Amino acid sequence: MKEIFVTRPDLPPINDLLIHLQRIWSSGILTNGGPLHQELEHNLASYLKVPYVSLFCNGTMALATALKVLGIRGEVITTPFTFVATTEALTWNGLIPVYADTGTDSFNICPADIERKITSNTSAILGVHCYGFPCDTQAIKEIADNFNLAVLYDAAHAFGVSCDCESLLSHGDLSVLSFHATKVFNTFEGGAIVSHDISTKKRIDRIKNFGFINETTIGVAGINAKMSEINAAIGLAQLAHIESYIEKRKEVAQRYAVRLSCLKHVTMPSYDSVKSHNYSYFPLLINQSSPLSRDEIYSSLREFGIFSRRYFYPLIPEFTLYREFCDDISRDLPNAFFLSRKVLCLPLYSSLALEEVDYIADKLTIILSS
């Protein structure tokens, strides 16, 4: 039986990569903001339609650095329904995560609950565009303006998503991308901060390079979070194919939509709220009416070799390490708790054959009618 995983990475044709590797071998520059790094920053800014991109070794270090750059202190209001890295970036900075619930009709943080959680110690809001679906950026901006808070977006899932004519990454003070192997655009490991002015970009680039201003001066306590030339080479080779990767993902999502439309116990994601989506995930909501629980469906699919994932279960404050940050999860975060028990991410990646989507849909239909 063939195993189908929740995702498989895109890999550019190896000859595309070799051309870039040849440049590294010729220059002998392997890291520290070399020519490929600079070219990828430039090409990404142009592709994403954003002013400035600063590359990182991964998304988590980019998040941790973004918080440092903005000088965030005290409490940060964030979502519990995300990958653990979102909270880890806060605690690594000695910040306190304060969890606001998700909305009733969204995977993302609820503006009204953000407002309820603000205290005199709050300094920022850290939203996540979960599965690439936009946070309510307008409402979050209004709250942030009223209470003088910084806004950061963990946009690890939001590469290339645009709303109206704008990139989703143009919202907030800073947005952070992940280029991990499992992401729509990957450099094997990697990440980036999107910023809106040159002085902020310079501060970001300084912090990720030990805080050096020049050979003899350190301006700020920095860290080493640079992307190497080899990861930048992979990025340059990938970027040339990104449109076709996203188009193939879209075909997969559309096939699911057709094949699963007759199933009454599930709700499919709607991509209507955005001008262009990246189809990074296919989060299926298992309805209350379902005769089987989400976990039973997850286990049954595994018996057919289909490895869906329960992103994001458990909720972050359910991890023992983070329990102290929420008194009563089902009382305080009921919507996020519901999502963590009801969402199943089906396999979605550009090389997933439509016949495989049919196979998954057939098995799901059998499981739900048993």
Residues that bind ligand T4K (CB under 6 A): 5-9, 58-60, 82-83, 85-86, 128, 154, 156-157, 178, 180-182, 191, 307, 309, 311
The values of phi and psi at residue 139, to 5°, are -65, -40
Q: What angle do CA 161, 163, 167 make, to 5 degrees?
A: 55
* Min dist. Cβ of residue 130 to ligand T4K (A): 7
Which one, 64 or 150, has the nearer CB to ligand T4K?
Answer: 64
* Min dist. Cβ of residue 190 to ligand T4K (A): 7
DSSP labels for 227-242? PPHHHHHHHHHHHTTH
Which of 277, 276, 340 shows the shortest CA–CA distance to 83?
A: 340
Distance of CA 149 to the CA centre of its chain: 22
* Min dist. Cβ of residue 80 to ligand T4K (A): 12
* Min dist. Cβ of residue 221 to ligand T4K (A): 21
Q: Which two tokens stand for residue 167?
A: 């990139």
* Min dist. Cβ of residue 57 to ligand T4K (A): 9
Amino acid at 140: I
* Min dist. Cβ of residue 128 to ligand T4K (A): 5
Measured distance CA(155)–CA(352) in Å, rounded: 24
Which one, 7 or 162, has the nearer CB to ligand T4K?
Answer: 7
Which of 205, 203, 157, 135 shows the shortest CA–CA distance to 59?
A: 157
Which one, 294 or 368, has the nearer CB to ligand T4K?
Answer: 294
Which one, 5 or 92, has the nearer CB to ligand T4K?
Answer: 5
Measured distance CA(353)–CA(87) in Å, rounded: 35
Q: Verify cis geometry, omega within 30 degrees of 0, for the bond prior to 13.
A: no
Which one, 309 or 363, has the nearer CB to ligand T4K?
Answer: 309
Which of 308, 253, 301, 307 shows the shortest CA–CA distance to 277?
A: 253
Which one, 128 or 368, has the nearer CB to ligand T4K?
Answer: 128
